[in-house]
Amino acid sequence: MAEPIDFYFDFSSPYGYLVSEKIDALAAQHGRKVRWHPILLGVIFKTTGSAPLTLQHPAKAAYYVGDFARSARFLGVPFKQPSRFPLPTQVAARAYYWLHGQDCALARQFAHAVYRALFVEDRDISDPETIFEISAKNAIDRSILEPALQSPEIKARLKDEVDQAMARGVFGSPTVIIDGETFFGADRLPQIERWLATGGF
């Protein structure tokens, strides 16, 4: 059986959200599973000297805000530009990794719910209360989740994931790695599809 592919993303990344709505089905068509890795772009950008697209030069920021929505329409994915953007995502990422240790399928469901809360419902996913509400809707017990998010193990797990991502050359979100081949950006979905179909080109 072929190795799972790796999907690195930040919960505040619009193009990460677009890929999150496509990658599992695309991989499944080619007999592959996907390992999801929420990471923190804030940490990575400090190392690479990058900045979020909407905090760059006004011409660039304006283009990308338009392109997020247009790319979503192009891919048939619902999208609304969040009013708080970008925003911190460590609570969501820590919750994901804790959940993943309990129940992989539930963690995946939670990740979709977080992304849709930000990019469809315009909710403030940096607020722990939002994360607890999303969790409750997915039958996750707040009285267990809340202390877990403060545990040294979960903090270390997220830090490790970010470090490992950087060690693999990840510099932005979304990044998909297939058998050692790296694809950056939602606009690489057609290349990802061909790579999965052909084993390389």
> Is residue 46 a contact point for a copy of itself (CB under 8 A)?
no
Task: Rule CB under 8 A: say whether 50 interacts with a copy of itself.
Answer: yes
For residue 187, state whether it binds a copy of itself (rule: CB under 8 A): yes
**Cβ atoms of 111 and 36 closer than 8 Å:** yes
Tell me which DSSP letter residue 159 carries: H
Interior angle at CA 105, CA 162 and CA 173, nearest 5? 30
CB atoms within 10 A of CB 101: 13
Q: Is 30 in the site for a copy of itself (CB under 8 A)?
A: no
CB of 124 to a copy of itself, least distance (A): 29
**CA dihedral in degrees (174, 45, 113, 124; nearest 10)?**
-150
Contacts of 77 (CB under 8 A, 6+ apart): 17, 18, 21, 22
Query: Token match 């240790």: residue?
Result: 101
> Which residue stretch of 26-34, 63-71, 88-96, 151-159 sits at the interface with a copy of itself (rule: CB under 8 A)?
63-71
Binding part of the chain for a copy of itself, among 44-52, 90-98, 111-119, 142-150 by CB under 8 A, reads 44-52
User: Is 128 among the residues that bind a copy of itself (CB under 8 A)?
Assistant: no
Q: Is 198 in the site for a copy of itself (CB under 8 A)?
A: no
Q: Of 33, 35, 73, 80, which lies in the binding site for a copy of itself, with binding defined by CB under 8 A? A: 73
CB of 33 to a copy of itself, least distance (A): 24
End-to-end CA distance of the chain: 21
Instruction: Give, as one character, the DSSP assignment of residue 181.
Output: E
Among 67, 121, 127, 133, binds a copy of itself (CB under 8 A): 67
Which of 59, 83, 141, 143 touches a copy of itself by CB under 8 A? 59
Contact by Cβ (8 Å): 6, 33: no
Name the phi and psi angles at 130, rounded to 5.
-60, -45
- Pick the piece of the chain touching a copy of itself (CB under 8 A) from 30-38, 81-89, 140-148, 179-187: 179-187
Binding site for a copy of itself (CB under 8 A): 47-50, 56-57, 59-60, 62-63, 66-67, 70-71, 73-74, 166, 169-172, 182, 184-185, 187-188, 190-191, 194, 201
